[in-house]
Amino acid sequence: MPLPLLLALLLSFPIPARADLIVTDDTGRAVQLPAPARRIVAVAPHAAELLHAAGAGAALVGVVQYADFPPPVRTLPSVGSYTGFDLEALLALKPDLVIGWDSGNPPAQLARIEALGIPVFRTEARVADDIATDIEKLGELAGTAAVATQAAAAFRQRLAQLRREHAGRRPVRVFYQVWARPLVTLNGEHPVSHVLADCGGVNVFAALPALAPQIDEEAVLAADPEVIIGGGMDGERPEWLEDWRRRWPQLAAVRGGHLYAVPPDWLHRSGPRLLDGMERVCAQLDAARGG
């Protein structure tokens, strides 16, 4: 075939347009990539867990302080704290995607990253179901959709089983304590409150307007919860949980011996381990019901 005729035939076929990856993050923003991400920085500890669950751990090149699970993330470079990371250190890792935390990272820093041309996927799970969706979306962005789909399905299956097992059980009034000084709890919009509800628990401070409000001891005494569950920063059982037993023996939770703790990383990080925390909470509320 003469060369001019061959060229004419080739030019007659449409040239396929580049198919970018477009995924909507938890805030409704569209995140667009020309190809699956190969260098990802997670600027929140739970984001690193989500990426590993999605099968994208090999693409993770940087994290922030307190990112310690799964164990491989402990060896990665840190770009500082999730409350204020080092932008130069982050840029030095040459990421093609950053996974952020909408309510935890400084908004100006996330906006600055985007202004520099680096896509940012903002996570903001409010219920356990959102975690499975985030796993799927991150798998799509990282080109590991097959692994992510399986992980999300397993998460949903376990979540549904826990909900079925505890549906219809007697409601138990719960005070979830994040910290002692100042005394901090969580309102009904927080993911932990939804975990309590799935286990048949009633958050006694659900109606407060702030997501993590400060309260006083008098408010706890007035609410008189049947169960007190302590989180905190370190260890599985905060020392201050025993203060209620020593100082306020008249509380229903103290009288019943229902002062419990859950490893905070299980519940405070919106990642796959939330279901481990949920299973622990459900068992504690069952104990408060008397079995």
Pairing of strands 30-33, 40-42: unpaired
Look at residue 235 in the predicted model and tell me its pLDDT.
58
**Cβ(96)–Cβ(62) below 8 Å:** no
Look at residue 279 in the predicted model and tell me its pLDDT.
97
All domains in the chain, ordered by first residue: 17-159 (3.40.50.1980), 168-289 (3.40.50.1980)
Look at residue 167 in the predicted model and tell me its pLDDT.
94
Look at residue 236 in the predicted model and tell me its pLDDT.
62
- Average pLDDT per consecutive 10 residues, the chain (291 residues; last block may be shorter): 41 50 97 97 98 98 96 96 95 98 96 97 96 98 98 98 95 95 94 96 97 96 97 71 93 96 92 97 96 54
